[in-house]
Amino acid sequence: MNATRIDPRPSVIGDRLARVKRVIAVTGWKGGIGKSVTASTLALLLAQKGYGTGLADLDFCGASAHVALGADGAYPEEEMGLLPPEVSGVRFMSVSFFSSGRAVPLRGADISGAVVEMLAVTLWGDLDFLVVDMPPGINDTALDAIRLLPKAEVLAVTTPSVMARSVLERSLELYRRLGVPLLGVVENMRGRSGRAASSPGVRFDDGLEKALGRPADLLNTAFARDLEKAVLPLLKA
């Protein structure tokens, strides 16, 4: 008789997140819209406000939150799991700690399995907010991540692009059908289009690139100030 194998990791993930009050899943469905820098800057803003904050980079194929945070040299400690290192007041976990700066050669179910593994081994402890840099798009990995994060509230990032907005609207409709709560939509790089704004916005900031990797400088950008005005009121609602 073949015994059915039950993966215990999803229940372990529930234990790991038990002391996390809110999970903010930052997602987007087009490349180049600023999802990762939005997630990283939001985590820094929350930590600056005195909240216990974590950041999980689940974008395994394009992990880049460590670049925004300047997390070079940080590494998790092992203690019956992995303790995420603190970077500028943010507890941070990313596949970048284990990839030695190389692309991660994972496909399909292997990516979902790696996401499950990271969530199962990470010891977040007590947090007010866990910000998640989600896998891009709506695919098996993104849907698995949402399933494994039942407390997640989605913060969707888009741009003024007609194509980006079209993909956003279709993707949000799917999330609504799945019963995933939407925290809000942030329109990034506003000002590069004459389109009328219909959601909280972040202006295009020429100085943002130079501030990446230096959290103190990143928090002083117009991008961070706009993001604070656009998102923090949503978190207090």
Instruction: Please check the confidence at residue 194 and state whether its pLDDT lies above 60.
Output: no
Whether 22 is in a domain gets the answer: yes
Domain with 45, as residue range(s), is 9-236
Please report, for the domain that includes residue 136, its CATH number: 3.40.50.300
24 falls within a domain: yes
More confident of the two residues 200 and 143? 143
In 3-state terms the chain splits into helix, strand, coil percentages (rounded to 5) of 40, 20, 40
Alpha helices, H only, 49-152: 65-69, 109-121, 140-148
2 belongs to a structural domain: no
Q: Is residue 1 part of a domain?
A: no
Q: Up-side HSE of residue 18: CA atoms within 13 Å toward CB?
A: 7
- The CA distance from 181 to 37, in Å, is 22
113-149 pLDDT tens trace: 888 999 999 999 999 999 999 988 788 888 888 889 9
Residue 124 inside a domain? The answer is yes
- pLDDT above 80: residue 97: yes
Inside any domain, residue 71: yes
Q: Considering its fold, how many domains does the chain have in total?
A: 1
Q: Does residue 3 lie within any of the structural domains?
A: no
**Residue 198: pLDDT band by 50, 70, 90 thresholds?**
low
Whether 56 is covered by a domain: the verdict is yes
